[in-house]
Amino acid sequence: MNIQETYTSLGLSDFEYDRILELMGRAPNFLELSLFSVMWSEHCGYKNSRPLLGRFPNEGTRVVQGPGENAGVVEVGDGWALAFKMESHNHPSAVEPYEGAATGVGGIIRDILAMGARPVALLDSLRFGPLEEERNRYLFREVVHGIGGYGNAVGVPTVGGEVEFGQAYSGNPLVNAMCIGLIRVEDLVRSSATGEGNLVVLLGSKTGRDGIHGATFASDELTDESESKRSNVQVGDPFCEKMLIECCLKLLDEDLLVSLQDLGAAGITSSASEMAAKGGVGIEIETDRVPLRESGMEPTEVMISESQERMLAVVEPEKIDEVLLLAERYELVGAVVGRVAGHGDLRVIHDGEVVGTVPVEHLADAPVYERDAVRPRYLDDVPELDLSELPEPEDYNSVLLQMLGHPNLRSRRPIFTQYDHQVGTDTVVLPGADAAVVRIKGTDLGFAATTDGRGRHCYLDPRGGGAATVVEAY
């Protein structure tokens, strides 16, 4: 395989490879090229969507943390704040629906945990093709089972969500998971790595080959060949995640961590480079010190593995024994895998030798593409609808029964009854209402939570549909 075939197979374009050569001043080796490929994917780098997402208003009197961290945070009163985030897991769920949906839940929980917040509520927003087709029925059944299987076991209530069906989603579901966490404002944690000489600690599960190049896979177009990429889909362990939640919150409560970051897309690569870039430092990772559950893993595989239930923490050397002891107490893997350095690079070391070096500022700053916005041609074929020409129904009762039998209007009870929505004993208004209501235990405070989407409206009128979606949720 020549160099062009290599970087193309990793999802990089000719322009992006030339840009890497310019930034590095030399040709990257395969490991370094792999680091760029995952960090410059759309899934990690937002290289196409960043200019658009930047248009959203993100400041307000109650906003404690806007874009740039693992989750947004808003103050709700009496020193309490809510951390929240929603993320999609569409491609993995289309290929391996149970694990794709389950790890979507697990990943969003860890984003909230990385802010120092205790996860207290889960929600989802789902889209599937018509259930008359067997493949769609399978995807629907397994996604719902995956959400319930992970959420129920990890002990966070799934309090709400929404689902619709349409031909556009046939074989290509949308699976969005949302988590809300509770935290005192003064306890908020940031992910910046600081303190040259501080240790980098990997907490949670061992590292395997699952999810390798999952970030690149999630950025690709879904095709008939995607079914062969099951190895790109991670496998979750909700019981390990439960221990990880309690361990991390205990470590933070005892002031044993400098910073904390979850490991999701691109694994150690994204977590280490993002932490270093935010702190204006470098990080050295020794891949041979990463606890593995599979033998013979190469440094590249270790760096981009997306094995689940893992967190990366920066710890002061004098506190490391306490951190590792707590990890052991919670039956988690705890290992020093690197250190904070002053050189500004993500430096990968294996068996004492440097096998890859990339400036973190380059990894964390993917190229941004300003795409031309073109009105879709399909809108030209949408017929005008004159409501005055619709015939008067002869039997309104029959019409009502037909409407109530439509998949998009039927009761969602068969779905949400598979979820434990009362674990924690704080859910005040249960699923089935316009919004769930969750109390903040020990206070007079609570919050309402819902998810909404108007896909058909957005298809025909993107701006109007987007506005209507916000209004409906509000």
Q: Which helix (H) or strand (E) holds 283?
A: strand 282-286
Strand partners, 174: 127
CB 41 within 8 A of CB 11: yes
Report the pLDDT value the prediction gives residue 234, as an integer from 0 to 100.
76
Give the β-pairing of 310-315 and 199-204: antiparallel
Report the 10 Å Cβ neighbour count for 74.
Answer: 16
What tens digit of pLDDT does each residue of 170-194 get?
A: 999 999 999 999 999 999 999 999 9
Confidence (pTM) = 0.93
Report the pLDDT value the prediction gives residue 219, as an integer from 0 to 100.
45
Which among 423, 432, 410, 458 has a CA at the least distance from the CA of 140?
410
Which among 107, 305, 275 has a CA at the least distance from the CA of 201?
275
Report the pLDDT value the prediction gives residue 217, as an integer from 0 to 100.
47
Q: Which helix (H) or strand (E) holds 350?
A: strand 345-350
Q: Is 213 a catalytic residue?
A: no
Q: Collect the ranges in the chain with pLDDT lower than 50.
A: 215, 217-220, 222, 226, 228-230
Which among 182, 138, 112 has a CA at the least distance from the CA of 426?
182
Q: How far apart are CA 256 and CA 117, in angstroms?
A: 16
Cα dist from 447 to 67, 110, 181, 182, 429, whole Å = 21, 21, 11, 11, 10
Q: Is 362 a catalytic residue?
A: no
What CATH number was assigned to the domain covering residues 190-365?
Answer: 3.90.650.10
Report the pLDDT value the prediction gives residue 227, as an integer from 0 to 100.
53
Residue 328 DSSP SS3: helix
Six token digits for residue 62? 């109650």
What DSSP string describes 85-116?
A: EEEE-HHHHHHSHHHHHHHHHHHHHHHHHTTT
What tens digit of pLDDT does each residue of 322-362 get?
A: 999 999 999 999 999 999 999 999 999 999 999 999 999 99
Report the pLDDT value the prediction gives residue 225, as an integer from 0 to 100.
53
Report the 10 Å Cβ neighbour count for 255.
Answer: 8
Report the pLDDT value the prediction gives residue 54, as an integer from 0 to 100.
87
